[in-house]
Amino acid sequence: MIEDKNPQRTSIAQLGEFGLIDHLTKNFEINQESTLKGIGDDAAVLDFGTRKTVVSTDLLIEGVHFDLAYMPLKHLGYKSVVVNLSDICAMNAKPTQITVSVAVSNRFPLEALEELYEGIARAAKEYKIDVIGGDTTSSQKGMIISITALGEADENEIVYRNGAKATDLLVVTGDIGAAYMGLQVLEREKQVFQVNPNSQPDLDAYTYLIERQLKPEARTDIRSLLHALEIKPTAMIDVSDGISSEIMHLCKQSNVGCNLYEDKLPLDPQFISVCEEFNIDSTTIAINGGEDYELLFTIAMSDFDKIKGNPNFTIIGHMTEPGEGLHLVTRANTKIQLKARGWNALSE
């Protein structure tokens, strides 16, 4: 299993708080015009001009949201950023800045924080966002990461959860369920490793699933794809808890019902074969698994021609009058009521 093989252990106390922040953030560059002042003063200064600012915050706690037994710190840093950017994307806005706050117990040496920040820096570079501030402090136990993301958009571009209409089509990007099965594979390997620390796992058959779990990406590309197609979603949310629970949010806030079609769910072949290996129903996992960080949105029926056949998008259902309820229409054409079995990690 993945473990820290770095023999060097520098005590964080040696650097002092300000020395530590300087040390961890010295390589962060400014990429965004809206960042007038990043790290280095009491506060960052941002200028979005006439644009609107969207803000989202996440708190990640060791043992609740992540397990360092199989989550390398670099990946954790990267993923912590991605889950926040995903929420900005879900507003149809462009992510621009983040603040990062970390609390660690003395179980973690400086080298561990360096790895975490390497992942954060990697994500910042990849998504061209600026790290503009944050805090590091000590905790009694474990690691806590809090990230706040900011983004910008014109007022008329912003998409809320409450705009879906009764005849709208329901669309999802990418594929779903893989991140959850990636976690199942990693959990299984962790247990094998606990019994036999010399075991060498062969994870070749699971690479896509594990990547979806350990290194998800935020769909920052969807905003421009939709713009180019001249489509503005009527409502949107990101898939952090599984589409079943996300559909419930959209329906509740838009006051509509929904029919979701089992045969339309976009599933990766590796996901399907690993569900078979684990003897789990792939549809159940696809709609209830979490952490896919795809975007789920509704569009007007009149936009159907613009989106049909586009490999980035799958139409998986349609909205209905609120009285019709929320249903999964199975391959056998039976209707099953959707239930929230949202998965309680890395939510929102």
Of the candidate spans 91-99, 100-108, 171-179, 231-239, the one that interacts with Mg ion by CB under 5 A turns out to be 231-239
| Type of residue found at 196 | N
Contacts of 23 (CB under 8 A, 6+ apart): 15, 110
Between 79 and 108, how does the x/- string for binding to Mg ion read (CB under 5 A)? --------x---------------------
User: Is residue 238 at the binding interface for Mg ion, with CB under 5 A as the rule?
Assistant: yes
Nearer to Mg ion, 88 or 316 (CB): 88
Q: Is 78 annotated as a binding residue?
A: no
Q: Annotated binding residue at 343?
A: yes
Gap between the terminal Cα atoms of the chain: 29
Smallest gap from Cβ 347 to Mg ion, in A, equals 8
* String of DSSP letters for 129-156: -EEEEEEEEE-SSSEEEEEEEEEEE-GG
Task: Return the range that interacts with Mg ion (CB under 5 A); candidates 34-42, 175-183, 211-219, 340-348.
Answer: 340-348
- 87 labeled binding residue: yes
The 10 Å CB-count burial string (b at 16+, else e) for 180-212 is: bbbbbbbeebeeebeeeeeeeeeeeebebbbeb
- Structure token pair of residue 311: 């490999």
With binding defined as CB under 5 A, does residue 294 bind Mg ion? no
**Residue 134 counted as an annotated binding residue:** yes
Kindly state the smallest distance separating residue 56's Cβ from Mg ion, in Å.
8
Q: Distance (Å, rounded) from C-alpha 275 to C-alpha 270?
A: 9
CA-wise closest residue to 56 among 126, 153, 125: 153
Query: Which of 189, 238 has the CB closer to Mg ion?
Result: 238
Work out how close the CB of 112 gets to Mg ion at its nearest, in angstroms, rounded to a whole number.
28
40: closest CA among 151, 171, 131? Answer: 131
Burial (CB count within 10 angstroms: exposed 0-12, middle 13-18, buried 19+), residue 305: exposed
| Residue 159 beta carbon to Mg ion: minimum distance, rounded to whole angstroms | 12
Query: Minimum CB separation from Mg ion for residue 21, in Å?
Result: 29
Enumerate binding residues for Mg ion (CB under 5 A).
Answer: 87, 238, 348
Q: Which residues are annotated as a binding site?
A: 42, 56-58, 65, 87, 117, 134-135, 161, 238, 240-241, 291, 343
